[in-house]
Amino acid sequence: MPFASLFSSVAARLFGAPAPGGGGAVEPELVRLAVEEIVDAVDPRLRSVSRYQSKIAPGAERTIAHLRTLACDLPEPIELSRAAWSSDLLLNAFFATAGDVPKLLGRSEELRTFFASAAGSGATEAHALLGMMKVERSVFAPALVDGALQHDVAQTTVSFEKHRLFAPAATLLDCRRQVGALILRRLAALALARITALGERAVELEQRKAVLGSRLRMLKLRHNGIEEIAGGARDTSAEVASIERELQATVDDYIEAKTSLATLNTRIEHIDAIFGSPADYVSLARTALRVNRMGYKVAEASGDPASRLTLSELSIGDGLTVVIAFVRCPRAELPAREDLTARAARELL
């Protein structure tokens, strides 16, 4: 199965539409399908492990239940256009100017590919997920304090960078399904990264073992060697003993790492560590934020004029948190490729 299509059938039932009743038991057939796609993504050899389905299924079920909860909280789409930038508070915060909107659309090869495809050839708009990084910086700038203008007041600016469009599709449901598949693939990648790190650890220990072995042999060869004729030879017995202890510990760690790496059950344990605790690796938070027209954060208790925003922040894995918004991308807003080239040429003059 092509890797790009992994998890798409599972995600279609998780993110394609709201879950019936908003919860409840996960269908056994969906769990079985999720397990097979996890195995395909991480290591197909896991099918040779006795009862692999029953070992992976509990984590897969917990992940499905967790992602269904997230699916109910995904934000509703907003129009991504220059006109909407003037009236939509979120878009106004996400982009510094209205002209930044078509620039983003024009940079998206995924969006161009969709509009050129059979599914998008007649579409007037595409649904997509907009992802970006929220950046807060501490600055000193003029501000009104108790009605008086003061200079060099400590403030925090809020901006959004590294905008990118993901999963363009003809409908919101299709886009949500693709986003769900991306999240599931990310979880599988985290499990595979743990397994890969184990292999890298084994290589590192093997190299360390070789270095310590060489140092130990060198010290032993020098002991009572001919260079002692010159006198002043230092006592290396303590150093030899220390290296021998370190070498033995390294050998023990190396054997453990190699044994774990060779065991398919260990790989299943790494899968369960991720899929068995999905809330530790995937979360969707709604964050309230007040910012003024200059992009400065305004305290909740402040009476200064500011826009009240609610951001959707998706966290996947260790330290990866992005602000997301589902958007509708009008075809009419997509600049021609030659327009972008001409603009770039002008900017270089």
E-assigned strand segments in the chain: 78-79, 125-145, 148-169, 282-291, 307-316, 321-330
* pLDDT exceeds cutoff 70 at 35: yes
Query: How do residues 164-210 score in pLDDT, each as one tens digit?
Result: 999 999 999 999 989 988 899 899 999 988 887 776 666 676 777 77
What's the rounded mean pLDDT across residues 45-52? 91
Instruction: Report the pLDDT value the prediction gives residue 32, as an integer from 0 to 100.
Output: 92
Report residue 334 CA to chain centroid gap.
27
Q: Sketch the domain layout of the chain as residue ranges.
A: 193-275
User: Averaging pLDDT over each range in 139-143, 145-149, 218-222, 228-232, which range is the top one?
Assistant: 139-143
pLDDT for residue 1 is more than 50: no
> If DSSP codes are grouped into helix, strand and coil, which group holds residue 83?
helix
pLDDT above 50 (res 28): yes
Tokens 């299943």 belong to 268
Percent of the chain with pLDDT over 70: 81
Tell me what pLDDT residue 23 has.
Answer: 52
User: Distance (Å, rounded) from C-alpha 207 to C-alpha 261?
Assistant: 17
- The pLDDT of residue 343 is 61
CA distance readout (Å), 152 to 127, 140, 145, 146, 302: 43, 5, 11, 15, 18
Give the pLDDT of residue 3: 43
Q: What percent of the chain has pLDDT over 90?
A: 43
Q: From the centroid of its chain, how far is CA 56?
A: 23
CB 119 within 8 A of CB 315: no
Q: Cα separation of 50 and 278, whole Å?
A: 25
